Amino acid sequence: MQLNTFKPTLEYAKQLDQEDSLSSFRDEFYLKPDSIYMDGNSLGLLSKRAERRLIEVLNDWKEQGIDGWTQGKHPWFSLSEKLGEMSAPLVGASSEEVIVTGSTTVNLHQLVATFYNPKGTRTKILADELTFPSDIYALQSQLRTHGYSPDTHLIRVKSRDGRFLEEDDIIEAMTDEIALIILPTVLYRSGQILDMERLTAEAHKRGILIGFDGCHSIGAIPHSFSKWDVDFAYWCNYKHLNGGPGCVGGLYVNKKHFGTAPGLAGWFSSKKEKQFDMEHTLTPADSAGAYQIGTPHVLSLAPLIGSLEIFTEAGIDNIRAKSLKINHYLMYLLEKELSDFNFTLGSPREDKKRGGHVSLEHKEAARICKALKENGIIPDFRAPNIIRLAPVALYTSYTEVWEVVQTLKKIMNDKEYEKFKNEREVVA
Ligand SMILES: *Cc1c(COP(=O)(O)O)cnc(C)c1O
Contacts of 66 (CB under 8 A, 6+ apart): none
Same domain, 300 and 337: no
Q: How far is the CA of 30 from the centre of ligand 1 (A)?
A: 24
Where is the domain boundary, 261, 293, 313? 313
267 is in an annotated binding site: yes
Please check the confidence at residue 1 and state whether its pLDDT lies above 70. no
Of the pLDDT bands very low, low, confident and very high (cuts 50, 70, 90), residue 370 is: very high
Same domain, 97 and 113: yes
Q: How many CA atoms lie within 13 A of 282 on its CB side?
A: 20
- Please indicate, yes or no, whether the overall pTM of this predicted structure exceeds 0.75: yes
Rounded distance between C-alpha atoms, residue 38 and residue 47, angstroms? 16
CA distances from residue 289 to 261, 284, 324 in whole angstroms, order as listed: 11, 8, 34
231 is in an annotated binding site: no
133 is in an annotated binding site: yes
Q: How many CA atoms lie within 13 A of 60 on its CB side?
A: 20
Tell which residue, 306, 390, 239, 314, has the closest CA to residue 22.
314
Q: Which domain holds residue 261?
A: 51-313
Residue with the smallest CA separation from ligand 1 atom 11 is 132
Same domain, 360 and 379: yes
Residue with the smallest CA separation from ligand 1 atom 1 is 215
Residue with the smallest CA separation from ligand 1 atom 5 is 104
Rounded distance between C-alpha atoms, residue 423 and residue 428, angstroms? 10
End-to-end CA distance of the chain: 32
Same domain, 16 and 90: no
Share of the chain above pLDDT 90, in %: 97
Distance of CA 387 to the CA centre of its chain: 18
Same domain, 286 and 415: no
Strand 124-128 with 154-157, pairing: parallel
Same domain, 282 and 321: no
391 residue type, one letter: P
Rounded distance between C-alpha atoms, residue 170 and residue 181, angstroms? 10
Residue 42 lies in a domain: no
Pocket of ligand 1 (CB under 6 A): 103-105, 132, 134-135, 184, 188, 213, 215-216, 236, 249
Residue 426: per-residue pLDDT: 81
SS3 content of the chain, % helix, strand, coil (to 5): 45, 15, 40
Which of 295-321 are b and which e, b meaning 16 or more Cβ less than 10 Å from the residue's Cβ? ebebebbbbbbbbbbbbeebebeebbe
Residue with the smallest CA separation from ligand 1 atom 6 is 104
Residue 423: per-residue pLDDT: 86
Helices (H), 72-219: 79-91, 104-115, 133-145, 150-153, 167-172, 196-205
Same domain, 187 and 275: yes
398 is in an annotated binding site: no
Same domain, 120 and 232: yes
Please check the confidence at residue 385 and state whether its pLDDT lies above 90. yes
286 is in an annotated binding site: no
The length of the chain in residues reads 428
- Helix then strand count (H, E) for the chain reads 15, 13
Of the pLDDT bands very low, low, confident and very high (cuts 50, 70, 90), residue 2 is: low
Of ligand 1's listed atoms, the one at least distance from the Cα of 108 is 7
Residue with the smallest CA separation from ligand 1 atom 14 is 215
Same domain, 255 and 138: yes
Q: What's the total number of domains in the chain? A: 2
pLDDT digits (tens, 9 = 90+) for 151-205: 999 999 999 999 999 999 999 999 999 999 999 999 999 999 999 999 999 999 9
Residue 231: per-residue pLDDT: 98
Q: How far is the CA of 13 from the centre of ligand 1 (A)?
A: 33
Where is the domain boundary, 313, 331, 351? 313
CATH number of 141's domain:
3.40.640.10
Quick one: which H or E segment has residue 188?
none
Residue 424: per-residue pLDDT: 82
Walk across the sheet containing 380-382 and list its strands: 344-345, 358-361, 386-389, 380-382
Q: Are 211 and 115 in contact (CB under 8 A)?
A: yes
Tell which residue, 250, 290, 259, 252, has the closest CA to residue 272.
290
Residue 130 lies in a domain: yes
Residue 4: per-residue pLDDT: 63
Residue 411 lies in a domain: yes
Same domain, 91 and 198: yes
Q: For 113-118, what is the mean pLDDT?
A: 98
Q: Are 376 and 35 in contact (CB under 8 A)?
A: yes
Q: How far is the CA of 241 from the centre of ligand 1 (A)?
A: 13
Distance of CA 295 to the CA centre of its chain: 24
Q: Are 125 and 174 in contact (CB under 8 A)?
A: no
Residue 427: per-residue pLDDT: 76
Average pLDDT, the chain: 96
Residue 5: per-residue pLDDT: 87
